[in-house]
């Protein structure tokens, strides 16, 4: 390309809001939009868009102004909020922030497993009351974790848990007899048979039409009474009322949610008051420097886009996630 392309940054007011974006000045003319009105005004003539606020939902409303758009980079791992029908059926390429959040999320999940097994909430509660509360706790070595979602985040979680002494198996779209991270990956159709023998069930699969509502009352009932459940995928993967019932009825021993059907979680949600439940505000992958990593990833792809090279982390829009190879033409 002889002329600089136009790139719209959705969710930022200036280049100062995105670390390292000033490097893009030699490659592109930058535009910025935070509101729907700004998006509708700035989108015409733009060939590329960075979804910096990956929770923003205005793009579909402005889609008729995207006649020149050819590529979207989404600053998150999950792209379910982006893949509306008009975009899916278009020729616009979509890439995501695959890889940035893998290790941080794995560390977060390991931390939750340790907190549950070692009773950290009870320790902190006793400390706040200046109460000496001696008790024994569980060991995690030898426990079995089932990771549902065999992509890059799930694989990082598997490696972290194995290093801590747990045995780990995975669930994906299809069977993989040998896998470096999991050992064995089971097909999603085997999920019900795997739940009774799993001590920790960790949900990290993308949200698609096939996985929406994956965990309901029947699936929680298949877990054993000492098992724990962790969801760091998407809130709509589970029936939250069914989880509350499973915890209050002692069907399972504990749970942790980092994602919710409605975010921010309303103050009157019963989840805040549910016993043996960790609630965190969709932060499992967000380290102090994650924005720099996401911005650098976008810059790498912007150089590729301008040069006509294959883009990294290309999303299969029909499936709703990036291919394993992470590179597509």
43-90 tens-digit pLDDT: 999 999 999 987 667 999 999 999 999 999 999 999 998 999 999 999
Q: What is the pLDDT of residue 26?
A: 87
* Mean pLDDT for the stretch of residues 162-168: 97
Q: How far apart are CA 116 and CA 151, in angstroms?
A: 25
What is the distance between the alpha carbons of residues 329 and 316, in angstroms, rounded to a whole number?
12
Catalytic site residue from 263, 273, 303, 325:
263
Burial 120-149 (b: 16+ CB within 10 A, else e): eeeeeeeeeeeeeeeeeeeebeebbbbbbb
- Catalytic member of 155, 159, 228, 234: 234
Asked if residue 98 lies in contact with residue 313, where contact means CB atoms within 8 angstroms, the answer is yes
Domains annotated on the chain, with CATH: 5-100+288-328 (3.40.50.720), 102-279 (3.40.50.720)
86 catalytic residue (yes or no): no
Q: Decide if 176 is catalytic.
A: no
| pLDDT confidence of residue 1 | 44
Q: Is 325 designated active site?
A: no
Q: Which of 157, 171, 113, 121 is nearest to 139 (CA)?
A: 113
The one catalytic residue among 65, 144, 282, 304 = 282
Q: Report the alpha-carbon distance of residue 269 to residue 49 in Å, rounded.
A: 35
pLDDT digits over 216-239, tens only?
Answer: 999 999 999 999 999 999 999 999
């Amino acid at each position: 390309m002889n002329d600089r392309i136009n790139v719209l940054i959705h969710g930022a007011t200036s280049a100062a809001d995105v670390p390292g974006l000033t490097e893009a000045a030699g490659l592109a003319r930058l535009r910025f939009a935070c509101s729907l009105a700004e998006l509708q005004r700035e989108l015409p003539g733009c060939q590329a868009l960075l979804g910096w606020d990956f929770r923003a939902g205005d793009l579909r409303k402005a889609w008729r102004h995207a006649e020149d758009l050819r590529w979207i980079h989404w600053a998150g791992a999950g792209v379910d909020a982006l893949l509306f029908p008009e975009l899916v059926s278009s020729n616009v390429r979509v890439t995501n922030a695959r890889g940035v959040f893998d290790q941080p999320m794995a560390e977060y999940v390991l931390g939750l497993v340790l907190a549950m097994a070692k009773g950290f909430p009870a320790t902190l509660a006793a400390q706040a009351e200046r109460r000496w509360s001696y008790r024994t706790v569980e060991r995690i070595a030898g426990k079995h974790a089932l990771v549902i979602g065999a992509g890059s985040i799930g694989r990082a979680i598997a490696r972290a848990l194995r290093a801590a002494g747990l045995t780990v198996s995975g669930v994906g779209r299809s069977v993989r007899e040998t896998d470096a991270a999991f050992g064995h990956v089971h097909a999603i159709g085997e999920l019900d048979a795997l739940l009774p023998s799993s001590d920790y069930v960790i949900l990290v699969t993308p949200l698609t039409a096939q996985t929406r509502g994956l965990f309901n009352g029947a699936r929680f009932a298949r877990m054993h009474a000492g098992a724990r459940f962790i969801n760091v995928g998407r809130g709509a993967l589970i029936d939250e009322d069914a989880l509350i019932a499973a915890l209050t009825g002692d069907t399972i021993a504990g749970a942790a949610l980092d994602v919710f059907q409605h975010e921010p979680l309303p103050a009157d949600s019963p989840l805040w008051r549910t016993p043996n439940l960790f609630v965190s505000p969709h932060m499992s992958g967000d380290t102090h420097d994650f924005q720099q990593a996401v911005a650098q990833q976008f810059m790498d792809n912007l150089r590729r886009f301008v040069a006509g090279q294959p883009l990294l982390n290309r999303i299969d829009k029909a499936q709703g996630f990036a291919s394993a190879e992470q590179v597509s033409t």
